[in-house]
Structure 1
Amino acid sequence: MSDNQPKDTQQVVLCDMCTEEDRKPARKTCMKCEISMCGQHLQVHLTTPVLLQTHPLTEPMALGGTTKCPQHGKLLEYYCLDDMTCVCVSCAIEDQHRLHNMKTFSTAHKELMEKLTGEQKALRVKTDDENVSLEKLAVMQTYPSI
């Protein structure tokens, strides 16, 4: 593995409200408005109580896919751990997912990232151990009397 590759390969998400000539990096994405906002444009969401309460903000993301439930047309706000899918409040409370294990996006994201980080560390340790074993094997084949 090369150390020359950048550690962070995520694309920078730009503010959807800035003018084309001067688009700043987004600080948050509003899942209800389906827009990403820089610090300046985010202020309205942070200072208007109704927006703060009803518009879920996430880390900046490009909203290439849908953020609405195809069945109910409502915002996808929860993650169903049983089916590993995003669901709206109606799916979570009334429909097929009502008896399933649910998490909010932010909680599910945090927990899944922690799990992924742990699995990556375990794989690195295993890979390092395998590399050491292969190096020992190569030395033993080169110098059989060792």
Structure 2
Amino acid sequence: MKTEVGTITAIKDNNLAEVKVGRHSDCMACGACPGAENITITAINTLHAKLGQKVEFEVRDANIVIGAFICFIMPLLAALVGALAGRFAALSWGYDITQAEIIGGIAAFALGLVGVKLFDRSLSKAEHTKPKIIALV
């Protein structure tokens, strides 16, 4: 489990809270994201922390790895499959192979991005994937 510190910016229903996350250890050395100071997450608020309180929360490492794989690798794999499907279609129907591979790759990449968005929506509703507030700081 990875733990981070943030500030409660809003209280939601069902024991949920919006937490503004500061730059964490992984971001300190990078600095590539200009919006890293404005990241907010929804966390389970079992400690009933109040608005403005600093809290420590934990995020399961498996959720980070799965999320990174889905966001970054799946669209690329979809593009590869789309390019191969375009190649197969071009060989079968006598079209230009390169154009069919490009069109198939772009179309499958776009579908992969839609799949990522749908997956994200389904995970955001799942309670077991949300970070959990574990302590008041």
Q: TM-score, normalised by structure 1?
A: 0.30
Structure with greater helix percent: 2
Greater fraction of residues in strand: 2
TM-score w.r.t. the length of structure 2 is: 0.31
Where relative contact order (Cα < 8 A, 6+ residues apart) is larger, the structure is: 2
